[in-house]
Structure formats: structure tokens, C-alpha cells
Copies of this chain bind each other. A is one copy, B any other.
Amino acid sequence: MTDGEHESGRSAAWVDPLTRLVGYQLRRASAMLMGELGAALGEIGLRPAEATILLLIDANPGCSQSDVGRALGIARANMAPLVAGLMRQGLVDRAPVDGRSQALELSAEGERRLAAARALIAAHEARLQASLGEDGRDRLLGLLDALRQPPAAGSMLEPVADVPPPRAKTE
């Protein structure tokens, strides 16, 4: 009964069993960053996916939208409306190559828009680097790259369970 439930915050003490979960923390961090970057890019009429498409076309002029989709992990079916939107905005030009393939290039306006997007992305990344520290950025990128790889052989022999343990319950 002597709980102290109504003193400081919401309830007596909030327990967060998610602080040590890599998957969850990664998801929250990603959502936060994409929200911030999305708000910034929204000011120039671009969504994050559209900005990355412009970056890829600029770096690989003449590529197909299937190439871009593969690089970004976006299904071909979902690339169609994305590229159509960029063409409707006059940012991307398309020329037949194959009869079935179309070569993508940035228009002059597309290059101008991309320059603006680059500035916003650079500002965002600079903010992240300020939080992470100079070496933190490289360490984080390295760890994310390691995550992408399958575990090294033999590493699964000692399963290190680290999920919040069941707390004592029912007395």
C-alpha cells in the first residue's frame, strides 16, 4: 500500500524492458531521423525516397528505374508511381533504350532540386555527426554494415539470450 504512486511522475517507477533491444532501438532511431529529414525535405517538395532516387540517378545517369529500385529495395511496382511523380514535376527525363528499358536522367530543374536536397541532407548528417562525435559516425556505419551480414559461422553456438527476464510475479 505504501506505494508512492502519486508522487513524481506517472506511476511509481516505469520499467522499460526495451532499452537493451537492438532491433527496437534501431527502429526508434530510424523513425526519429526519417521524421526529421522528411520534414526538412518536405520544405522543397520532396520525400526521402524521392530525394534518394534523384541522388541515384545523378550518380548513375542513364540507369533504369529497375536499377534504382533494386538499389533502394523498392519493388518495381512501387517504383512506377514514384518515377512518374518525379517526371510530372519535371525533375527526371526518360528516354527509351531497349524497347522495354528506359534511361533515366535528371533535368536541369532536377539538378537544381537535388542541389537543394543535398544541402538539407548534409545539414541533417552534420547534426547527427555532432551528436555522435567525429569517430562515432564511422563506428556506427561500420556496425550497421556488420548487421547486414549473416552471423559468422560458429557464432550461434552460444545463444546469448538478453531479453528482459521475466520478473517475479504472482507474489
Does A60 reach chain B (CB closer than 8 Å)?
A: yes
Q: Which of A31, A160, A167 has the most CB of B within 10 A?
A: A160
Count this chain's copies in the assembly: 2
Chain A residues 46 to 93 lying within 8 A of chain B, measured CB to CB, are 48, 52, 55-56, 58-63, 67, 70-71, 73
Given the known inter-chain contacts A122-B162, A127-B151, please indicate yes or no for A17 contacting B55, CB distance below 8 A: yes
Mark each residue of chain A from 115 to 140: 1 if its CB lies under 8 Å from any CB of chain B, else 0.
Answer: 10010011111111111110011011
- B residues near A1, Cβ cutoff 8 Å: none
Contact (Cβ within 8 A) B73 A28: yes
Closest to A71 in B: B16
Q: Could you tell me the distance between the alpha carbons of A137 and B167 in the complex, rounded to whole angstroms?
A: 23
Q: Would you give 29 A-B contacts (Cβ < 8 Å), ordered by A?
A: A11-B63, A14-B60, A14-B63, A17-B55, A18-B52, A18-B55, A23-B34, A23-B124, A23-B125, A25-B145, A26-B30, A26-B144, A27-B33, A27-B48, A28-B73, A29-B147, A30-B30, A32-B148, A55-B164, A111-B169, A122-B159, A125-B163, A126-B156, A126-B159, A128-B147, A129-B160, A130-B152, A131-B150, A133-B146
Residue positions of A touching B, CB distance < 8 A: 10-11, 14-34, 37, 48, 52, 55-56, 58-63, 67, 70-71, 73, 111, 115, 118, 121-133, 136-137, 139-141, 143-152, 155-156, 159-164, 166-167, 169
